[in-house]
Amino acid sequence: MSGEAQTAGEYIKHHLQNLTYGKFPDGHWGLAETAEQAKEMGFMAIHVDTMFWSIFLGVAFLWLFRKVAKTATTGVPGGLQNFVEMVVEFADGSVKGAFNGRNPFIAPMALTIFVWIFLINAMDLIPVDWLPLAATFIGQHVFGMDPHHVYFKVVPSTDPNATFGMALSVFMLTLYYSFKKKGAIGFASELTLHPFSSDNKVLQLVFIPINFMLEFVALIAKPLSLSLRLYGNMFAGEMIFILIALMYGGGWAIGIFGGFLHLGWAIFHILIITLQAYIFMVLTIVYMDLAYQVPEEH
């Protein structure tokens, strides 16, 4: 959203600020009008735009796939049914290729992760000013807000809170199935008896803290890498779109050049948003497969 007096730096900062709802230092609740106010709200603040688009796109995914499932035909499928079946088969094939256990929950989870993250990432393809301008108009004329204080990020995966939330959910599931499959003793053995081991009991006791440090770091690295990979790639892509959008205000020649850059980057970005959704899905399947491996299989 470009205001009349906005500099390039202010324009970029405005687009990178979430619409934040939380508790002010004086005790009342409301929407933050500045980045400083949002920071003061602390951990319990809610990024309204991230939550709205995440839930909206999740519901849209469920509604669409449910509609196709209810109207599916055994005859010649329509275009939408054919597309949905292709996506389902793709997710199912990915699970069969990477997951060696038996759990009917894994394939639906993989499908949900892939489609949901793809839809979230695809919001990056909408021109950066369209939805923020619509939000500014609604905020100003419906809620009486100052248009300069209406923030609206439309790509949830550019918010680390969203990507960390998804990664932590996957992490908790892997811990749950690790305990369920291996038991507490088996899981503890996995963290303390590998990669270094010895038949000598005294030496094995020496290895236990070393193994634990190595395995614990590897364990914690899973949700960190899962979340930061998605966040970093999508944030970088969004930043490039914002920088290209600045070119439209630099005259007709630079604007035309920016238009070609925008088109080229958008086409290339389709590959990025699909690849990031696929990587998140595959890594989730792999982590679940590791949770099902008993220590003897290492």
Q: DSSP letters of 83-117?
A: HHHHHHHHHHHHHHHH--S--TTHHHHHHHHHHHH
Q: Which of 49, 99, 120, 124 is nearest to 284 (CA)?
A: 99
Contact 175, 154 (CB under 8 A): no
Among 121, 169, 225, 227, the one annotated catalytic: 225
Q: Which of 53, 52, 22 is nearest to 37 (CA)?
A: 22
Q: From its phi and psi, is residue 29 left (phi > 0), alpha (psi between -120 and 50) or beta?
A: beta
Q: How far apart are CA 140 and CA 1, in angstroms?
A: 13
66 catalytic? Reply is no
What backbone torsions phi and psi does residue 194 show, to the nearest 5 degrees? -135, 150
Contact 99, 287 (CB under 8 A): no
For residue 30, the cross-strand partners are: 22
Tell me the two tokens of residue 195. Answer: 């990669």
Q: How far apart are CA 141 and CA 31, in angstroms?
A: 16
What sign does the CA torsion over 115, 116, 117, 119 have?
positive
Contact 168, 223 (CB under 8 A): yes
2 catalytic? Reply is no
Residue 151, classed as helix, strand or coil, is coil
102 catalytic? Reply is no
Among 2, 161, 189, 229, the one annotated catalytic: 229
Among 54, 121, 157, 233, the one annotated catalytic: 233
| Active site amino acids | 225, 229, 233
